[in-house]
């Protein structure tokens, strides 16, 4: 659907986007994840033909964003960051203006507008003035605008920024529903959002792609040290020493608390030490009350990837 090839964008002497390539496939929800200023918005602006690239090519459905810009724009519904709208217009009036701009044929216009109003659940505010709407409703009006010409691709820049938790949940639910019919590229710096919505993630930092995979694969790839936490009834000291002898265990942290002891074991990468740990506890007369493998969340991966470089240089 979208093919980005060695894309770069330079502002003065700084590369906001530095040689990135990726593809967005039909029907998927792809997340662009990165800290603020990583180049997410710039990438999206190039994809939506708002600004041209310094070098590299982007094709949308086979159309080049620079040469067939108007064709590309017809395929795309774009929700810019912070959802700029005309505050003096009424919701329905605005959508009708946008539908006309996007060349929705006269016969279908009313139907398309009503459909997008219904999908985004803004029926109860459709005759209100946009300036009087809450942020959550404005966001949904923006989404309704992206849908009004029934585009194949939706590009959403930080769709949940600035909303309260309830509104975030509603907007996410909405995006999930839209993902069934449209190909979606969304950007965010909120990690649970990506885990919840996206089939695939691209993590970008300082204009470069640092990782690209499914959220769960990323977690596996990056499981640098597998942590296991245990709660054991038994002789704390003795069991601790036994753990240090188990093959594959790199580090043992022991927090004694009388009869009940808590341990955190760090195992070597790719080694599953759980069974050996179990038998060594049993051998030393302990009783396992709890054993848990801590799964790495995207949050940690994100933190690792985006800070790794700095930590090396410091």
Nearest approach, Cβ of residue 41 and other proteins (Å): 10
Q: To 10 degrees, what angle do helices 91-101 and 106-119 make?
A: 130
- Could you tell me how far CA 186 lies from the centroid of its own chain? 7
Q: Would you list the DSSP string of 54-100?
A: SEEEEEETTEETTTTHHHHHHHEEEE-TT----TTSBHHHHHHHHHH
Nearest approach, Cβ of residue 247 and other proteins (Å): 58
Q: To 10 degrees, what angle do helices 135-147 and 165-178 make?
A: 10
Site string for other proteins, 2-41 (x = CB under 8 A): ----------------------------------------
Beta bridge partners of 2: 24, 60
Task: Tell me the C-alpha distance between 180 and 203, whole Å.
Answer: 23
Task: Tell me the C-alpha distance between 232 and 264, whole Å.
Answer: 11
Nearest approach, Cβ of residue 73 and other proteins (Å): 4
- Pick from 6, 67, 103, 111: which binds other proteins (CB under 8 A)? 103
Task: Tell me the C-alpha distance between 267 and 56, whole Å.
Answer: 43
Site string for other proteins, 65-94 (x = CB under 8 A): -----xx-xx-x-x-x-x-xxxxxx---x-
Should residue 314 be labelled a site residue for other proteins when binding is judged by CB under 8 A? Answer: no
Q: Which of 126, 280 has the CB closer to other proteins?
A: 126
> Within positions 47 to 66, which residues make up the interface with other proteins, using CB under 8 A?
48-52
> Within positions 134 to 163, which residues make up the interface with other proteins, using CB under 8 A?
145
Nearest approach, Cβ of residue 184 and other proteins (Å): 16
| Contact between residue 81 and residue 59 where contact means Cβ atoms under 8 Å apart | no
Task: Tell me the C-alpha distance between 128 and 63, whole Å.
Answer: 38
Which listed range, 25-33, 43-51, 182-190, 210-218, lies at the site for other proteins (CB under 8 A)?
Answer: 43-51
Place of tokens 């245990």: 230
Nearest approach, Cβ of residue 102 and other proteins (Å): 6
Which listed range, 31-39, 101-109, 111-119, 286-294, lies at the site for other proteins (CB under 8 A)?
Answer: 101-109
Should residue 102 be labelled a site residue for other proteins when binding is judged by CB under 8 A? Answer: yes
Q: To 10 degrees, what angle do helices 91-101 and 135-147 make?
A: 30
Should residue 177 be labelled a site residue for other proteins when binding is judged by CB under 8 A? Answer: no
Binding residues for other proteins (CB under 8 A): 45, 48-52, 70-71, 73-74, 76, 78, 80, 82, 84-89, 93, 97-98, 100-103, 145
């Amino acid at each position: 659907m979208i093919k980005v090839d060695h894309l770069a964008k330079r502002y003065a002497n700084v590369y906001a986007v530095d040689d990135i390539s990726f593809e967005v496939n039909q029907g998927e929800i792809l997340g662009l994840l990165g800290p603020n200023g990583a180049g997410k918005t710039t990438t999206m602006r190039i994809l939506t033909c708002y600004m041209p690239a310094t070098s590299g090519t982007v094709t949308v459905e086979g159309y080049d964003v620079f040469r067939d810009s108007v064709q590309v724009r017809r395929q795309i519904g774009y929700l810019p960051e912070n959802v700029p709208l005309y505050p003096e217009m009424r919701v329905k009036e605005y959508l009708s203006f946008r539908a006309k701009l996007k060349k929705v044929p006269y016969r279908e216009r009313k139907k398309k507008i009503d459909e997008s109003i219904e999908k985004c659940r803004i029926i109860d505010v459709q005759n209100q003035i946009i300036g009087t709407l809450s942020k959550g409703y404005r966001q949904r009006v923006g989404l309704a605008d992206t849908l009004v010409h029934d585009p194949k691709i939706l590009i959403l820049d930080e769709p949940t920024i600035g909303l309260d938790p309830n509104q975030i949940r509603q907007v996410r639910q909405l995006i999930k529903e839209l993902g069934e019919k449209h190909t979606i590229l969304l950007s965010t710096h909120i990690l649970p959002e990506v885990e919840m919505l996206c089939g695939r993630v691209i993590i970008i930092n300082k204009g470069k792609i640092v990782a690209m995979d499914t959220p769960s694969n990323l977690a596996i790839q990056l499981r640098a040290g597998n942590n296991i936490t245990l709660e054991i009834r038994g002789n704390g000291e003795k069991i601790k020493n036994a753990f240090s002898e188990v093959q594959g265990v790199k580090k043992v942290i022991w927090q004694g608390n009388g009869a009940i002891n808590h341990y955190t074991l760090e195992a070597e990468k790719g080694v599953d030490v759980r069974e050996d740990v179990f038998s060594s506890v049993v051998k030393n007369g302990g009783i396992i009350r709890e054993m848990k493998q801590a799964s790495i969340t995207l949050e940690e991966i994100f933190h690792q990837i985006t800070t790794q470089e700095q930590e090396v240089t410091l």
